[in-house]
């Protein structure tokens, strides 16, 4: 069912879900939302499953016309969203009517905003995902960023939402110009001297203009190797920090290649990836070392907080002597039918 027309495309607006997992062994990147945390919460605000496709908006937002009424939510970086020229609240469920215009007045904080619409953006599923991988022209809307004149469809919503429902304050991140990012050393930290690692953890780095969905190239203290910078190519995980021969780190992100032959001094913990994805050129990043056990504990705590808040209420559909429920348990959605015997 058609719901959106793109009036202006913005700087970079793409359809994204939580990624195309399971195909890296074939050389297919994961892609998906740079800030999956914000997309998940946007989806919950409009009654979608966490992995439903929404729109990722980068730095300068699009102008979108609604063809019919809908429930929407905007989360992530503050790009000053407006409906018909009037400011709307972020991290909150908002109602729109046919003919309404969603636009963005300008960047206030962060870098990327996420737009979720009840029912989720309907584009073809490619390898289990609707995510756009731009370099491969794969997935999303015709494998590309949105353009003026594009029209988008949404699926059917099976949940009830409350207009004005809001993400609790404790779950809303704060974005600035300085980001403290936790890392686990390795897998090739043994290629660097103790002094090199200390410098990496002590010095602030600046996000350069060479920052996109594939990765962020950072400017700051050089990180010398003990010897060579190259290794036999191996897998690159989300958040891997490569250090080529020039000694300047590169953080690999959503559209990263699946393998690479540069040493990796450390890996950003998964809980801090969403925050890092909100850093823009010119922002500062500082790294701090933690253990794998600490990283697991941080992730567990974050997921427990998310599990404790979910405004989705399943719609009950009665048909004769059969009642249908959609129930979400531990992140999984089940369709259940109950019949009288």
pLDDT in tens, 108-154: 999 999 999 999 999 999 999 999 999 999 999 999 999 999 999 99
Helix residue ranges per DSSP H, the chain: 36-45, 194-202, 273-276, 292-307
Mean local confidence (pLDDT), 163-188: 96
Percent of the chain predicted with pLDDT > 70: 91
Q: What is the model's pLDDT at position 221?
A: 93
Burial class (CB in 10 A: 0-12, 13-18, 19+), 63: middle
Token representation of residue 118: 């009840």
Pick the closest to residue 125 from 15, 223, 44, 229 (CA basis). Answer: 15
In a domain, 331, yes or no: no
For residue 82, give the 3-state DSSP assignment: strand
d(CA 251, CA 273): 10
- Shared domain for 155 and 14, answered yes or no, is yes
Where among 171, 205, 236 does a domain terminate? Answer: 171
Rounded to 5, what percent of the chain is helix, strand, coil?
A: 15, 40, 45
**What's the pLDDT at 161?**
86
Calculate what percentage of the chain has a pLDDT beyond 90: 87
Do 156 and 241 share a domain, yes or no?
A: no
93: helix, coil or strand? coil
Tens-digit pLDDT profile for residues 304-327: 999 999 887 655 444 445 555 555
Question: Cβ contacts of residue 190 below 8 Å, gap of 6+?
Answer: none
Question: Does residue 135 sit in the same domain as residue 192?
Answer: no
Structure token pair of residue 14? 């793409």
Q: What angle do CA 97, 102, 108 make, to 5 degrees?
A: 145
Q: Are residues 17 and 133 in the same domain?
A: yes
Which of helix, strand or coil describes residue 234?
strand
Residue 158, pLDDT score: 79
pLDDT of residue 183: 98
Closest CA to 184 of 270, 76, 258, 120: 270
Q: Is residue 151 domain-resident? A: yes
Contacts of 320 (CB under 8 A, 6+ apart): none
Q: Is 324 inside any structural domain? A: no
In a domain, 326, yes or no: no
Q: If you write DSSP's letter for every residue of 282-329 in order, what string do you get? A: T-EEEEEE--HHHHHHHHHHHHHHHHT----EEPPEEETTEEEEEEEE
Q: Is 127 left (phi over 0), alpha (psi -120 to 50) or beta?
A: left
Distance CA 152, CA 41 (A): 21
| Cis preceding linkage at 111, omega within 30 | no
- Residue 323, pLDDT score: 58
Report DSSP letters for 194-208, one per residue: HHHHHHHHHS-EEEE
Q: Are 249 and 269 members of one domain?
A: yes
Looking at the structure, do residues 91 and 117 belong to the same domain, yes or no? yes
pLDDT the model gives residue 328: 53
Do both 224 and 276 map to the same domain? yes
Q: Which domain holds residue 267?
A: 178-302
Q: Are residues 144 and 260 in the same domain?
A: no
Is residue 14 a part of any domain in this protein? yes
pLDDT digits over 245-293, tens only?
A: 999 999 999 999 999 999 999 999 999 999 999 999 999 999 999 999 9
Does 29 map to a domain?
yes
Q: Are residues 146 and 214 in the same domain?
A: no
182 in the same domain as 165? no
Locate 191 and state its tokens. Answer: 């290629």
| pLDDT, position 325 | 58
Residue 331: per-residue pLDDT:
44
Count of beta carbons in the 10 Å neighbourhood of residue 120: 24
Distance of CA 114 to the CA centre of its chain: 8
Instruction: Please give the tally of structural domains in the chain.
Output: 2
**And the tokens for 24?**
């890296």
Q: Which of 118, 140, 171 is the last residue of a domain?
A: 171
The DSSP secondary structure of 263-282, one letter per residue, reads: EEEEEE-GGGHHHHTT--TT
75 and 32 belong to one structural domain: yes
CATH number at residue 218: 2.40.100.10
Q: In this structure, is residue 340 part of a structural domain?
A: no
pLDDT value for 122:
97
Strand order in the sheet with 317-319: 317-319, 322-329, 332-339
pLDDT given for residue 330 in this prediction: 41
Task: Answer yes or no: is 240 within a domain.
Answer: yes
Q: Which of 143, 171, 199 is the last residue of a domain?
A: 171
Shared domain for 283 and 206, answered yes or no, is: yes
Which pLDDT score is estimated for 339?
53
């Amino acid at each position: 069912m058609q719901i959106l027309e793109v009036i202006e495309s913005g700087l970079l607006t793409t359809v994204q879900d939580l990624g195309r997992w399971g195909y890296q062994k074939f050389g297919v990147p994961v892609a998906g939302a740079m800030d999956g945390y914000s997309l998940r919460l946007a989806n919950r605000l409009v009654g979608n499953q966490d992995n439903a496709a929404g729109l990722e908006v980068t730095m300068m937002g699009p102008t979108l016309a609604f063809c019919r009424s809908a429930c929407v939510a905007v989360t992530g970086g503050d790009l000053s969203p407006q409906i018909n020229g009037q400011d709307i609240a972020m991290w909150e469920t908002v109602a729109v009517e046919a003919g309404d215009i969603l636009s963005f007045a300008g960047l206030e904080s962060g870098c990327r905003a996420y737009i979720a619409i009840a029912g989720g953006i309907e584009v073809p599923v490619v390898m289990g995902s609707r995510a756009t991988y731009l370099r491969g022209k794969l997935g999303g809307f015709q494998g590309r960023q949105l353009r003026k004149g594009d029209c988008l469809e949404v699926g059917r919503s099976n949940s009830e939402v409350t207009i004005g429902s809001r993400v609790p304050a404790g779950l809303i991140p704060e974005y600035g110009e300085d980001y403290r990012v936790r890392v686990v050393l390795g897998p090739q930290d043994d290629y660097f001297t103790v002094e090199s690692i200390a410098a990496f953890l002590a010095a602030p780095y600046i996000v350069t203009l060479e920052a996109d969905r594939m990765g962020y190239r950072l400017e700051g203290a050089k990180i010398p190797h003990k010897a060579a910078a190259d290794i036999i190519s191996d897998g690159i995980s989300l958040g891997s920090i490569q250090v080529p021969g020039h000694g300047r780190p590169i953080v690999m992100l959503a559209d990263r290649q699946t393998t690479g032959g540069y040493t990796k001094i450390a890996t950003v913990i998964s809980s801090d990836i969403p925050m890092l994805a909100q850093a823009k050129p010119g922002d500062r990043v500082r790294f701090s070392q933690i253990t794998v056990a600490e990283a697991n504990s941080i992730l567990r705590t974050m997921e427990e907080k998310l599990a404790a808040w979910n405004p989705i209420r399943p719609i009950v559909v009665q048909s004769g002597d059969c009642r249908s429920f959609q129930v979400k348990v531990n992140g999984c959605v089940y369709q259940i039918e109950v019949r009288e015997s």
